[in-house]
Amino acid sequence: MTETPVAPGSIRLHDKVTPTLTAGIYRFRSKLDVTGTGTAGGSPPEHLTHVQVSAPRLALDASEVTGHHPPRDAVGAFGDRLPHVVLGRRTLPWERRFTDGTPWLALLVVRADEASLVTGPLRTTIGETAFTRLNGIEPVDANRAVVGLRAKDLATFRALLPSRDDVRLLTHVRQVNVADTALAGSDDDGWFAVVTANRLPLGGTTPTKYTACLVSLEGREDAWASNLTSPPTLIVLASWPFVTSSAGGTFEHVAAHLDLGAFGAPPAGQPPLVDADGALALAGTRRDGSPTTVGYRSPLLGAAPDPLPAGPDDVTGDAAFELGRLLAAADGRFIREVVAWHRAADDAARTDSAATLRADSAQAYAAAGPAPRRAAAAASADEADRLAVAGADLRAAATSADPLAGLGATFAQRLLSRTTRADLWQAHPGGDSVIPRQLRPEGEDS
């Protein structure tokens, strides 16, 4: 079935995308049954093959995470939006799952005083019972170093962990068109799995530190058991810290709280680091290799242009241009559009140039005098060779007198013959008389 593409700016939601085979080791058995006339021979032996379906288990590679909110180490008012993590592989939350289809991933948001991250060998970090259950699902190295999330008490753990039904609802798949996004050129299909937390990171009167933890629930049916006596330690696949405050997180707040004295005061007796216009002196190199000093201003610091600058060269604009050029070069869609625009502009320019050459050639042909024109008009088919020789003589005479007139005469002669077509990616045929080229052997026609 053909899949309907998603329009730019649109999104298509799916509750889940489950792979046919979950992660694990499988044994495939095949045999061959032969039927036909004649004497039946012996049956061929069965063929056994073991196949392992791999998937992340104890840690998640950074390339698997396309994005997350809030950003790492960010400070702002994040209490009105649920934290979430976006995974580049649509099937990842269901590549390991419970028997009822519940995904094996959950995103927990914890305050600094609610839980802690611990690092150690797998067996000692999660406990012997949990390790035995995990190793029974698929063999795993007991000494593999992992990161675990350990709540301070059982009540806190129960408050942090979503219910089993909520785990299923907090994970979904999004299908988007990435053509007009920052992911253009880096993602091939526009499918993403999203795991959302069940808690808003509310802030207080003072900034509050949080840590978002993507945890594994594989083999942890006991996490929802009612007879727990201590909080279980969950394996953390990925995590990032952030700080929630009552204000911040917006461009207005950042701009209003810029540190204008970031360089501090200069030592006593030393000149300031920036001049009166706010430019910082930097060492540079001229094109000839000699050293020089240039000035650089930050993007948010305005300055009136000096028509006759007396100080060092200002490279602020050059730095901004280079930054924009590199950002444009990293955008695949933008590069394709620029190349298409250049080709269209080049075609239009070549068309205009051809029209101008025709007009100039017509004038040069007219300036050659009425005799050649009358001869060309009265020429018959049997005089074509004679006129070709005369045209060559005309071009030679015009070239010796005026190279531009020779160029016009050459182009006019070819235009009248209608036998030569221009190649847009090479020199125009009318200009071949002034283009250096390899000399032809004597006796060969030009």
Residue pair 233/149 in contact (Cβ under 8 Å)? The answer is: yes
Report the Cα 347 to chain-centroid distance in Å. 30
Task: Read off the pLDDT of each residue in 4-22 and give the average, rounded to a whole number.
Answer: 88
pLDDT recorded at residue 172: 96
Residue 325: give the domain boundaries: 280-301+310-329
Q: Is residue 355 part of a domain?
A: yes
Residue at a domain's end among 200, 218, 244 = 244
7 inside domain:
no
* Tokens representing residue 314 in the block: 């200002």
Same domain, 79 and 189: yes
pLDDT the model gives residue 230: 92
Give the CA distances from residue 151 to residues 113, 117, 160, 234, 423, in Å, rounded to whole numbers and listed in that order.
9, 9, 9, 9, 74
- Residue 140 counted as domain residue: yes
Residues 225 and 290 in one domain: no
- Helix runs in 219-378, H state only: 251-256, 316-329, 332-367, 370-378
The band of 370, judged by pLDDT with boundaries at 50, 70 and 90, is low
What value does the mean pLDDT take over residues 260-281? 76
Residues 87 and 233 in one domain: yes
In angstroms, rounded to a whole number, what is the distance separating the alpha carbons of residues 390 and 403? 18
Is residue 444 a part of any domain in this protein? no
Residue range 383-436, pLDDT digits in tens: 555 545 555 555 555 445 555 556 566 665 655 554 444 443 444 444 444 334
Whether 410 and 290 map to the same domain: the answer is no
Least confident interval from 27-36, 181-190, 343-352, 393-402: 393-402
Q: What is the largest CA-CA distance in the chain?
A: 115
- CB neighbour burial string for 247-272, b if at least 16 within 10 angstroms, e if fewer: ebbeeeeeeeeeeeeeeeeeeeeeee
- Give the pLDDT confidence score for residue 358 in this predicted structure: 72
Residues 197 and 72 in one domain: yes
> What does the DSSP 8-state code read for residue 220?
-
Whether 93 and 71 share a structural domain: yes
Exposure of 372 by Cβ count < 10 A (0-12 exposed, 13-18 middle, 19+ buried)? middle
Say whether both 218 and 86 belong to one domain.
yes
b/e for 46-83, b at 16 or more Cβ within 10 A? eeeeeeeeebbbbbbeeebbbebbbeeeebbbbeeeeb
DSSP string, 178-196: GGGSTTTTT-SS-EEEEEE
**How many structural domains does the chain have?**
3
- Return the pLDDT at 367: 63
Q: Are 166 and 84 in a shared domain?
A: yes
Shared domain for 125 and 218, answered yes or no, is yes
Alpha helices in 217-315 (DSSP H): 251-256
**DSSP for 135-166, written as a single string:** HHHS---TT-EEEEEEESSHHHHHHHSPPHHH
What pLDDT, on a 0 to 100 scale, did the predictor assign at position 420?
42
Q: Write down the mean pLDDT value for the chain.
A: 79
Indicate if 422 and 352 belong to the same structural domain: yes
411 within some domain: yes
Q: Which residues pair with 171 in a beta bridge?
A: 195
Return the bridge partners of 277, or none: none
Residue 210, domain member (yes or no):
yes
Same domain, 96 and 115: yes
Who has greater pLDDT, 124 or 355? 124
Query: pLDDT at position 122, please?
Result: 95
